[in-house]
């Protein structure tokens, strides 16, 4: 009876944790006046509420710059309250690094603030935002209550940006999506890489152009060598003081594309490719098996077509 009671209490505690809709966001300092909210290395579900993403903010002399706003209105509201616990300075700009929903669906909570993104990201959010939000409602349930798409209202472009008393270098790239913005805070040496870099989690590829992505990773790694770099914030996974997430992401993409190319040339069909196990180096990688299956669906048809056209 005592064991049964303990089990019921554990289940009840888990249920409460899922039903209070508190993301329990804690601003973790990663450099002077630079903070990150680190998400879980999981897929979306009704327990984590979509809190699988890294977002952050930079406190300048005049105000605050927010990097990505999270997966829901609730997240954005709680993020804003967590920022206020660190500084009472005003938020002057929100930057969306790309158009995937876990990075922009908290924009509503910052509707009174300029929200900036690359032109193609703005267009992508306007085009796909509602469908993305509906999909997250299906996966994350009532965590998404009240969430509506807030399209960025300011177009950003590559180059220096002076804002909130900070000097930011905006790096316009692509590959993970059609438009990926990396943000380098020159004062602290912090690089917000967005989803161009994953750490300890398999990368996602629904809009990937892998060759472009690999070129973007080369450019980011060059920045870490040639500038006063100190901290790398990946879109998902732990923050580092080196370029390890860039190398991890590159290694996965190189393995993935080589594996799919070899399978296509060998005449395997999609079901056979889906059934392949991950190599030992990726055994146990969070969301590795699931992301591999998704990537087969996204990428393998092009490799099949290439093999047919080349006659191999």
> How far is residue 54's CA from residue 59's CA, in Å, rounded to a whole number?
17
Query: What pLDDT is recorded for position 310?
Result: 85
- More confident position, 261 or 18: 261
CB 66 within 8 Å of CB 82: no
pLDDT reading at 85 higher than 70: yes
Query: What pLDDT is recorded for position 8?
Result: 38
The percentage of residues in the chain with a pLDDT greater than 90, rounded to a whole number, is 91
Assigned domain for 35 exists = yes
The residues with which 231 forms a beta bridge, in sequence order, are: 190
Query: What pLDDT is recorded for position 5?
Result: 39
Cβ-based burial of 247 (10 A; exposed 0-12, middle 13-18, buried ≥19)? middle
Exposure string over 140-153, b if 16+ CB within 10 A, otherwise e: bbebbeebebbbbe
Comparing CA positions, the residue from 295, 82, 277 lying closest to residue 208 is 295
pLDDT tens digits for range 9-27: 333 434 444 568 999 999 9
Give 178's DSSP letter. Answer: S
- Helical ranges in 26-180 per DSSP H: 73-86, 119-140
The total number of structural domains that make up the chain = 1
Assigned domain for 280 exists = no
Contacts 24+ apart (CB under 8 A), 243-248: 244/199, 245/193, 245/197, 245/198, 245/199, 246/193, 246/196, 246/197, 246/217, 246/220, 246/221, 247/221, 248/197, 248/198, 248/199, 248/200
pLDDT category at 309 given cuts 50, 70, 90 is confident
Range list of β-strands (E), the chain: 28-31, 34-37, 55-59, 64-67, 91-95, 115-118, 154-156, 159-163, 166-173, 180-185, 190-198, 231-236
pLDDT tens digits for range 132-187: 999 999 999 999 999 999 999 999 999 999 999 999 999 999 999 999 999 999 99
CB 292 within 8 Å of CB 202: yes
CATH code assigned at 74:
3.60.15.10
Give 240's DSSP letter. Answer: B
> How far is residue 268's CA from residue 291's CA, in Å, rounded to a whole number?
19
Range list of β-strands (E), 60-189: 64-67, 91-95, 115-118, 154-156, 159-163, 166-173, 180-185
What average pLDDT is seen over the chain?
94
> How far is residue 44's CA from residue 144's CA, in Å, rounded to a whole number?
12
Tokens 């995937």 identify what position? 100
Structural domain boundaries, residue 108? 19-242
């Amino acid at each position: 009876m005592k064991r049964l009671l303990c089990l019921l209490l554990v289940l009840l505690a888990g249920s409460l944790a899922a039903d209070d809709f508190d993301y329990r966001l804690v601003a973790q300092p990663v450099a002077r006046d630079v903070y990150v909210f680190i998400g879980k290395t999981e897929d979306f579900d009704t327990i984590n509420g979509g809190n699988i993403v890294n977002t952050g903010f930079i406190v300048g002399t005049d105000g605050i710059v927010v990097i990505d706003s999270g997966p829901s209105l609730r997240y954005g509201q709680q993020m804003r309250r967590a920022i206020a616990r660190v500084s009472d300075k005003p938020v002057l700009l929100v930057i969306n690094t790309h158009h995937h929903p876990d990075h922009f669906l908290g924009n509503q909570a910052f509707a009174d603030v300029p929200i900036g993104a690359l032109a193609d990201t703005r267009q992508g959010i306007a085009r796909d935002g509602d469908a993305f939000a509906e999909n997250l409602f299906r996966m994350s349930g009532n965590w998404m209550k009240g969430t509506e798409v807030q399209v960025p209202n300011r177009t950003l472009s590559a180059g220096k940006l002076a804002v909130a008393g900070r000097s930011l270098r905006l790096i316009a790239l692509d590959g993970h999506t059609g438009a990926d913005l990396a943000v380098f805070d020159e004062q602290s040496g912090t690089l917000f890489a967005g989803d161009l870099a994953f750490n300890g989690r398999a990368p996602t590829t629904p809009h990937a152009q892998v060759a472009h992505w690999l070129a973007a990773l080369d450019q980011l790694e060059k920045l870490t060598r040639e500038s006063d770099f100190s901290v790398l914030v990946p879109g998902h996974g732990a923050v580092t003081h080196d370029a390890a997430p860039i190398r991890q992401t590159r290694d996965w993409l190189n393995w993935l594309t080589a594996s799919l190319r070899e399978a296509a040339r060998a005449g395997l069909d999609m079901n056979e490719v889906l059934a392949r196990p991950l190599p030992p180096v990726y055994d146990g990688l969070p969301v590795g098996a699931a992301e591999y299956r998704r990537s087969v669906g996204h990428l393998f048809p092009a490799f099949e077509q290439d093999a047919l056209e080349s006659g191999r």
